[in-house]
Amino acid sequence: MTFKEFGLNESLLEGIDASGYENATPVQEQVIPLILAGKDIIASAQTGTGKTAAFLLPIINKLLASRIDDQVNALVIVPTRELAVQIAQNLEGLAYFTEISSIAVYGGGDGSNFTNEKQALSRGADIVICTPGRMIAHLNMGYVRLQGLQYLVLDEADRMLDMGFYDDIMKIISFLPPKRQNLLFSATMPVKIRDLAKKILHEPEEINIAISKPPAKIVQRAFIVYDAQKIPLVKDLLKSTNFKSILIFCSKKHNVKQLTMDLKRARFNVKEIHSDLEQAEREEVLLEFRSRRLQILVATDILSRGIDIDNIDLVVNYDVPNDGEDYVHRIGRTARAETDGVAYTFVSEKEQNKFNTIEQLLGSPVPKAEVPEQFGPTPEYNPRKSRRTGGGGGGGHRQGGGGKSNGKRFQPQHQRRNNNGQNSAGRQGGGGGRSSGQAG
Ligand code: AMP
């Protein structure tokens, strides 16, 4: 379906064209007409589905006819600064040929940012994209012009609740006029999201685009290791493979810092990103990574959702993520758009149960990769045993058979360099791109 068929304004169609969009994505096909018709919406859609434009386009289109001067006309609440910046950039592109104004309002940055935000909020900006804490700081000062607000969007709502923003969201809403159109987007639909929806939405249409499964084209492999083998194994994988753009996730800031330091010492082109960095530093690192000047980025889950970076070839879960959704989000950073991707997860003894729970959520075991000989014995993959013993392990294990849930192990040969230093088998990913348990 083309965007013209939605009957959008010509100036908006120009922006869509300039953004390089030709046809609407499935979420856009479903959501745009409903928003244009004035419905409240609850949609489960993950990043990468085109959900941002699905709500921005109809809002911009409607505001072209109904915007009220000197007011905030639409408010988009998001969990992180990065997502706020990304949506603002997307909006800038789409609205480029229109007169719609916008601003991203988020924490961090220096005092001049706050002053700019204050000016925009007190004069009115058509679309405001904000993180909850920062918006409340402005609201408490009393100058934000919200009386004319027509649209409220909650994006990545599940993430916001996970981050403890429920009270903040409700407080922001208490400042809004009751008559407005409400749109809620969430990657998952746990009960707490449904409860939130009941409080905020008015007779919403429900849309389900995403099932929380990783795209089949991602080659997933797990390395069953002892904790102490993780750093040497990362280094070996990075040295012996030919990935150009690599994102490594750690669960804790401490691990991010430690691993980055180790990789720097080994002369890898690597930087870290986590919430201890200033906003400007975070943006600079992201820019370097996006433009591929930086090859390896080590991150906390701050980057697992909502961040749109194309062409990441490899995602490494240095720590097993806390739940299946985080796993899907993390590995979903690779294999965006038309490209394939590879996702490796390092599973220590303590993490076997957690990983097994994720495999159950995915509906099939992740094939186990063989840890190269030089690393010595590796633990057996035996989640039930590690549950009983708290990961006591014991005894070494090599090669096949031990992995109860999937049998064979897999050597990531498809990414090992050949003698010319080139990628030996391109990006097909030996073992096929399926996430099933058919180990290669
Ligand atoms: P999102 O799910 O909103 O994060 O979008 C993922 C990526 O898809 C972003 O880079 C968007 O700019 C891009 N995108 C959104 N809609 C379309 C479309 N209809 N055609 C091509 N790319 C799109």
Does 406 sit in the ligand 1 pocket, CB within 6 Å?
Answer: no
**Token match 């600064």: residue?**
81
pLDDT of residue 411: 37
> Where is the domain boundary, 179, 209, 239?
209
d(CA 202, CA 273): 39
Does 245 sit in the ligand 1 pocket, CB within 6 Å?
Answer: no
Task: Tell how many helices (H) and how many strands (E) occur in the chain.
Answer: 15, 15
Do 129 and 230 sit in the same domain of this protein?
Answer: no
426 assigned to some structural domain: no
Do 97 and 73 sit in the same domain of this protein?
Answer: yes
> Where is the domain boundary, 180, 209, 238?
209
415 assigned to some structural domain: no
pLDDT of residue 383: 87
What separation in Å is there between the alpha carbon of 50 and the centre of ligand 1?
Answer: 4
d(CA 85, CA 280): 12
Q: Return the ligand 1 atom nearest residue 46 CA.
A: 2
What separation in Å is there between the alpha carbon of 282 and the centre of ligand 1?
Answer: 23
Does 429 sit in the ligand 1 pocket, CB within 6 Å?
Answer: no
Q: Return the ligand 1 atom nearest residue 93 CA.
A: 12
Does 51 sit in the ligand 1 pocket, CB within 6 Å?
Answer: yes
> Where is the domain boundary, 209, 229, 257?
209
pLDDT of residue 338: 55
> At CA 197, angle to CA 193 and CA 198, rounded to 5?
120
Does 48 sit in the ligand 1 pocket, CB within 6 Å?
Answer: yes
Does 24 sit in the ligand 1 pocket, CB within 6 Å?
Answer: yes
Of the residues 22, 29, 52, 87, which should be mutated to test ligand 1's pocket, given the most ligand atoms within 8 Å of the CB? Answer: 52
Do 237 and 179 sit in the same domain of this protein?
Answer: no
pLDDT of residue 385: 60
On the 0-12 / 13-18 / 19+ scale of CB atoms within 10 A, 373 is exposed
* Cα four-point dihedral sign 37, 41, 44, 46: positive
274 assigned to some structural domain: yes
Q: Return the ligand 1 atom nearest residue 3 CA.
A: 19
pLDDT of residue 356: 87
d(CA 92, CA 191): 34
What separation in Å is there between the alpha carbon of 438 and the centre of ligand 1?
Answer: 32
What separation in Å is there between the alpha carbon of 48 and the centre of ligand 1?
Answer: 6
Q: Return the ligand 1 atom nearest residue 310 CA.
A: 10
Do 391 and 316 sit in the same domain of this protein?
Answer: yes
Do 237 and 374 sit in the same domain of this protein?
Answer: yes
**Token match 């109904």: residue?**
66
What separation in Å is there between the alpha carbon of 260 and the centre of ligand 1?
Answer: 31
From atom 13 of ligand 1, which residue's Cα is the shortest distance away? Answer: 50
Q: Return the ligand 1 atom nearest residue 51 CA.
A: 3
In the chain, the amino acid numbered 203 is E
DSSP E strands, 191-290: 205-208, 218-224, 246-249, 270-273
90 assigned to some structural domain: yes
**396 three-state secondary structure:** coil
Do 34 and 183 sit in the same domain of this protein?
Answer: yes
What separation in Å is there between the alpha carbon of 253 and the centre of ligand 1?
Answer: 30
From atom 18 of ligand 1, which residue's Cα is the shortest distance away? Answer: 21
In the chain, the amino acid numbered 88 is A
Q: Check: CB of residue 41 under 8 Å from CB of residue 104.
A: no
Does 53 sit in the ligand 1 pocket, CB within 6 Å?
Answer: yes
Question: Residue 186 corresponds to which tokens in the numbers above?
Answer: 């969430």
Do 196 and 231 sit in the same domain of this protein?
Answer: no
Do 66 and 142 sit in the same domain of this protein?
Answer: yes
Do 170 and 240 sit in the same domain of this protein?
Answer: no
431 assigned to some structural domain: no
Does 49 sit in the ligand 1 pocket, CB within 6 Å?
Answer: yes
Does 21 sit in the ligand 1 pocket, CB within 6 Å?
Answer: yes
Count: domains in the chain: 2
**What is the full per-residue pLDDT of the chain (440 aa) written as tens digits?**
999 999 999 999 999 999 989 889 888 999 999 999 999 999 988 776 789 999 999 999 999 999 999 999 999 999 999 999 999 999 999 999 999 999 999 987 777 889 999 999 999 999 999 999 999 999 999 999 999 999 999 999 999 998 999 999 999 999 999 999 999 999 888 889 999 999 999 999 999 875 456 777 889 999 999 999 999 999 999 998 889 999 999 988 999 999 999 999 999 999 999 989 888 898 899 999 999 999 999 998 777 665 667 778 899 999 998 777 778 888 877 766 556 789 999 999 999 988 987 887 677 899 999 999 999 999 999 986 644 443 333 334 543 333 333 333 333 433 443 333 333 322 233 332 222 222 22
Do 225 and 356 sit in the same domain of this protein?
Answer: yes
438 assigned to some structural domain: no
What is the phi/psi pair of residue 121, to 5°? -70, -30
- Burial of 41-53, coded b for 16+ CB within 10 Å and e otherwise, reads bbbbbbbbbbbbb
Domain enclosing residue 344, as ranges: 218-397
DSSP 71: S
What separation in Å is there between the alpha carbon of 172 and the centre of ligand 1?
Answer: 28
pLDDT of residue 430: 30
17 assigned to some structural domain: yes
Do 202 and 239 sit in the same domain of this protein?
Answer: no
In the chain, the amino acid numbered 435 is S
403 assigned to some structural domain: no
Residue 94 parent element (H or E)? helix 81-94
CATH number of the domain within which 280 lies:
3.40.50.300
What separation in Å is there between the alpha carbon of 233 and the centre of ligand 1?
Answer: 35
Q: Check: CB of residue 328 under 8 Å from CB of residue 348.
A: no
Question: Residue 34 corresponds to which tokens in the numbers above?
Answer: 């409903």
Do 107 and 187 sit in the same domain of this protein?
Answer: yes
